[in-house]
Amino acid sequence: MKTLKTGTAFLDLRGDQGDPEKAGVVILPLPYERTSSYVRGSFRGPRAILEASAQLEEYDEELAVEIYRSCDGIATLEPMHFLTETPEEAIDRIREAVREMLDRGKFVVSLGGEHTSSLGPLRAFHDRYGDALSVLQLDAHRDLRDSYLGDPYSHASVMARALEFIPSLVQVGIRSHSQEEVRFDEAKKVETYYAHLIKTGKVPDWEDRVLGALNERVYITIDCDFFDPSLIPSVGTPEPGGFLWYDTLGFLRRLCEERTVVGFDLCEFTPIEGMHHPEFTLARLIYKLIGYVSTNR
């Protein structure tokens, strides 16, 4: 593992607390973007979040700890770069990098560009835990098209590719999809919890249902358009009606209390020049989620 030599480390942690050999948590930036179909720029997302994280308070008022100490440090690895590889080659290279960190006993957080980058960590975690692993997708879109604009590795097809090796999927926050994607409901491989039903109170026990659908070990993939555009406007395909800050934190804290979150990724953040609150909010979300995981281990 190579620590970050240039740029910004998460929380700007250096020394032992940012040493990838000693830290319990490692953050892997994956600025991969090939297929964005509306607003481009997600390859810039990981660096923007890391830069904003230097402004976070290290003490968390909710958990009453300095989170990075509770997990023995948070190290930021050098970003992986993607030039001439095919999507399959890039995914496999990410998979091997994540597997190496898992072999070293690290809790891995991946910061992606477009959602396709999540396939590498998903493969690595499935290699480790097999079909006992549950995958939770927080997203505005189902991403279940067999291909989009002729590309089976489109960001709009990432979960269709994931379902070629994971047995099932739980989706929360969905509020836009094609008719084609309904075929997965009929196959009963996907449980989908729509934002409009949650937000209008028509599924008041949605958290119980989601938790009931998950195994003990859970991997989370977070597309930033899961959030309402009023909170995170900087995404490739913004959809109205998303989740807000305390809605999300309450659910994630309960999830970490009742299940074992083994890793997570965050992707599809497209920075807007001159607007800084989205990357700060996402940096805080990452820190909070690391805190929820570390204080429940």
Residue 139 corresponds to which tokens in the numbers above? 């997203």
pLDDT digits (tens, 9 = 90+) for 100-132: 999 999 999 999 998 999 999 999 999 999 999
DSSP state of 141: B
Domain contains 162? yes
In this prediction, residues 279-294 reach a mean pLDDT of 98
Domain contains 215? yes
Global pTM value: 0.95
What Cα–Cα distance (Å) separates residue 219 from each residue in 128, 133, 271, 276, 280?
Answer: 12, 7, 25, 28, 23
Does residue 184 carry a pLDDT above 90?
no
Residue 147 corresponds to which tokens in the numbers above? 């291909």
Contact partners, residue 2, CB within 8 Å, separation at least 6: 20, 77, 78
What is d(CA 95, CA 118) in angstroms, rounded to the nearest whole number? 9
pLDDT digits (tens, 9 = 90+) for 57-107: 999 999 999 999 999 999 999 999 988 888 899 999 999 999 999 999 999
What is d(CA 128, CA 133) in angstroms, rounded to the nearest whole number? 9
In this prediction, residues 166-176 reach a mean pLDDT of 96
Determine phi and psi for 122, rounding to 5 degrees: -60, -40
142 exposure class (CB count in 10 Å sphere: 0-12, 13-18, 19+)? buried
What local confidence, expressed as pLDDT, does residue 151 receive?
74
Does residue 148 carry a pLDDT above 60?
yes
Which residue segment(s) compose the domain that 165 sits in? 10-294
The CATH number linked to 90 is: 3.40.800.10
Give one word for 228, left, alpha or beta, with left for phi > 0 and alpha for psi -120 to 50. Answer: beta
The maximal CA–CA distance of the chain, rounded, in angstroms, is 52
Does residue 1 carry a pLDDT above 70?
no
Contact partners, residue 196, CB within 8 Å, separation at least 6: 175, 241
pLDDT digits (tens, 9 = 90+) for 225-258: 999 999 999 998 899 999 999 999 999 999 999 9
What local confidence, expressed as pLDDT, does residue 153 receive?
78
Domain contains 4? no
Domain contains 3? no
| Domains of the chain: total | 1
